[in-house]
Amino acid sequence: MRFVEVEKREGIAIVRINRPDKLNALAPEVLEDLEKAVDMINEDEEVRVAIITGTGKAFVAGADIKYIGTLDEEGGYRMAKFGQRVFSKIEDSPKVFIAAVNGYALGGGSELALACDIIVASENAVFGQPEVDLGIMPGWGATQRMTRKLGQGWAKYLILTGERISAHKAYEIGLVQKVVNHDNLMDEAINLAQTLASKGPLAVSLSKEAINRAFQLGDFGFEYEAKLFARTVGSEDKDEGVRAFFEKRKPNFKGK
């Protein structure tokens, strides 16, 4: 793939968006490569956790503004659905996705990070939804995912003002889960990925699924949790986890 590199390391996939001369802006070709990478990861049984990061000084500085300039209303709708499909494949994946935000995460870049399960940011990272400065609004999920994650107050503040915020501010409002020294970003993200990969695979992916549905299901969410919980209790992983606890050793989970 020309714009996205995937490296596999013992159950962990590292996805690097690689268009540094344009700050990794998501032109359609970049988004196509990202979709291929996500499809590969979702189909790869060995991969448990994926880390998405950017090459150079940006995570992703947004959708490609040059391309946006060429779009009419119909093209805009198609582009919105395309990006939403790719980002939903990340959100709905049975694997855990970590965004390791190394720099600018603006517009579509912030939306990509929001589609991931956990955001770890370098102290150099900058977040924002500056679409309003271009006379457009977010089209790849920010109005929905940011509102679900931060509540209406911060979602409205960030989306309506287009203000760019630091990693520390993003941590303070709950957008980011961890801020780390820039040079340690990938080590920290990999450590976190290894921790997640050591847990029961079925337990992790079903927990993610239940959390993802929390805002759609209302009170039925509790019933849904009970059903998924029962699947984990009936799993071989549970037998192994309980056995390993009493045998005072690390469990060897199979994801079944």
One symbol per residue from 19 to 38: x for binding ligand DAK (CB under 6 A), - otherwise; what is it?
Answer: ---xx-x-------------
Of residues 10, 32, 131, 225, which has the active-site annotation? 131
- Give catalytic status of residue 5 as yes or no: no
One symbol per residue from 170 to 209: x for binding ligand DAK (CB under 6 A), - otherwise; what is it?
Answer: ----------------------------------------
Among 11, 139, 201, 251, binds ligand DAK (CB under 6 A): 139
Judged by CB under 6 A, does residue 71 bind ligand DAK? Answer: yes
Structure token pair of residue 166: 């630091």
Structure token pair of residue 142: 């920010």
7 forms bridges with which residues in the sheet?
Answer: 14
Among 65, 173, 217, 244, binds ligand DAK (CB under 6 A): 65
The C-alpha atoms of residue 91 and residue 200 are separated, in whole angstroms, by 19
Element spanning 74, H or E: helix 73-91
| Residues whose CB falls within 8 Å of the CB of residue 23, separated by 6 or more in sequence, listed in order | 56, 57, 58, 60, 61, 103, 104
Number of residues lying near ligand DAK (CB under 6 A)? 25
The C-alpha atoms of residue 76 and residue 84 are separated, in whole angstroms, by 12
Judged by CB under 6 A, does residue 104 bind ligand DAK? Answer: yes
Taking the least distance from each CB to ligand DAK, the nearer of 139 and 200 is 139
Reduced to 3 states (helix: H, G, I; strand: E, B; else coil), residue 137 is coil
Of residues 111, 172, 188, 223, which has the active-site annotation? 111
200-to-211, 232, 235, 239, 245 alpha-carbon distances in Å:
16, 9, 10, 11, 13
Torsion, CA 220, CA 226, CA 229, CA 231, rounded to 10: -100
The C-alpha atoms of residue 141 and residue 72 are separated, in whole angstroms, by 20
Taking the least distance from each CB to ligand DAK, the nearer of 61 and 228 is 61
Q: How far is the CB of 7 from ligand DAK (least distance, A)?
A: 24
Among 108, 200, 201, 251, binds ligand DAK (CB under 6 A): 108
Among 38, 63, 113, 175, binds ligand DAK (CB under 6 A): 63
- Give catalytic status of residue 131 as yes or no: yes
The binding site for ligand DAK (CB under 6 A) comprises 22-23, 25, 61-66, 68, 71, 76, 79-80, 83, 104, 106-108, 130-131, 134, 136, 139-140
Q: Which residues belong to the active site?
A: 111, 131
